[in-house]
Structure 1
Amino acid sequence: MTHGHTVDPDESAEEHWDSRYRESERRWSGEPNAALVTEAAGMTPGRALDIGCGEGADAIWLARRGWRVTAVDVSGVALERAARHAREAGAGTGVDWQRHDLAVSFPGGEWDLVSAHYLHSQAELPRDAVLRRAAAAVAPGGVLLVVGHADPGDREEAHHHGMPFPTPEEVLEQLRLEPGRWAVERAAEFERARADRERRPGLHRDNILRVRRLPG
């Protein structure tokens, strides 16, 4: 999911995001998020849940490396594209694409990796509650990976107007994890290279929180 825009208060989250995706043939780069690649590269493939999968780049990257992936998004338009991209990449059977408005429903099951990248939206989204459900879906020994923007960025302030950008420590507090049952493996701010819509290069400041549910 990702960057928000002004939303019609009478518009559902699905309608909002479907309309955003229909604005162009490809909304995102098609490349997996760099933080996911870094954090998951050394993990043993298992079951993964990609929350807010958009056009599917992260889910496809995981599936091509042996993960059994469930990928969810509120936009049916995005999911149709994601499934097509997966077939084109030879990963069509490795991902279970599911449409969920995470304010209303959440996929059932447990996963060894639950990934939530840039879960920011001006459409209705109870982000804290969604991330708590994400944590509850992590299997013993598994990882919850939450990556988000640290600020709106110099060139995108209008796109993120009024949106909160919690620090890793604030996200950790919002998760309300059971004491003694989780280990914090990474909580940090980092910079990544990115280009804006006019392809001008720049840097974006992001936050990452990686926590592991302890086995037993």
Structure 2
Amino acid sequence: MTHAFDKDYWEHHWDDRTSHTVAANPYLVEETAGSTPGTALDAGCGAGAEAIWLAEQGWRVTGADISAAALDAAAQQAQNAGVDVTWIESDLTTWNPDERWDLVMTHYAHPSIPQLDFYRHISQWVAPGGSLLIVGHLLDAAHHHSHEGAPPREATVTAKNITTLFDASSWRVDTAIERSRTVVGTGVHPKTLRDAVVRVTRAV
């Protein structure tokens, strides 16, 4: 099934959520280990788990999302955690902020524009010497994403798809991996996620 991934879709998606996870994506934890905290933007922050975790590590964080319902949940989670995060409601496919960040990250964002075009767009917001961390749903040709609960094909990528966006004269590829991991959600059965993880650093 093809989704529009527009504001109405995401408002409905987050309104349907009765609870929100506060656990940050493990790839974010791995990829920022040893980093000096600076400024960060979570593009498509959802309920704010990653933004809040970074703020707890001393980063100055902005979380941006198209869904007001998601941001309401994120603000409540941040208050519960006792951290300050700036929350911005915006359609990131057309947003052009003046600010640039030391870290721009996105986790499983499904935009209304093609997935790779979205990654290219948000890469403009990385400050010189800063990094872009992308965690996306991996294109799984073997299963064609036909199983229940899997992301639609148009919302999937490979690590190679992503790295080809970045010219070697302007960007350094630090991480480009494809992994599987099992998560336990609110359902009875564990869920296997297949992920494409890419971190690139902009030249100074």
Q: Does 1:64 align with 2:56?
A: yes
Contact 2:137–2:151 (CA under 8 A) maintained in structure 1: no
Query: Could you tell me how far 1:78 is from its partner in structure 2?
Result: 0.4
In structure 2, the residue matched to 1:99 is: 89
CA contact (8 A) 2:136 2:197 kept: yes
Change (3 A) 1:40 1:155: farther
Aligned counterpart for 1:15 among listed residues 3, 8, 11: 8
Q: Which secondary structure state, in structure 1, belongs to the residue aligned with residue 63 of structure 2? A: strand
The equivalent residue for 1:140 is 128
**What is the 5 A alignment of 1:169-180?**
169-173=160-164, 175=165, 177-180=166-169
Match of 2:17 in 1: 24
1:45 alignment partner in structure 2: 37
Q: How big is the shift at 1:6? A: 5.5
Alpha-carbon spacing, 1:156–1:101, altered in 2? closer, same or farther (3 Å): farther
Q: What residue ranges of structure 1 are gaps of 5+ in the alignment?
A: none
- Separation in structure 2 between the aligned mates of residue 155 and residue 24 of structure 1, nearest angstrom: 23
Give 5+ residue unaligned stretches, structure 2.
Answer: none
Alignment of 1:97-176 (within 5 A): 97-120=87-110, 124-151=112-139, 156-157=147-148, 159-173=150-164, 175=165
Distance 1:150 1:168, change over 3 A: same
Q: TM-score, normalised by structure 1?
A: 0.83
SS at match of 1:97: strand
Whichever residue aligns with residue 28 of structure 2, its letter is L
Deviation at 1:178, TM superposition (A): 3.7
CA RMSD, 1 decimal: 2.3
Deviation at 1:120, TM superposition (A): 2.5
Aligned length: 201
SS at structure 1 position matched to 2:77: helix
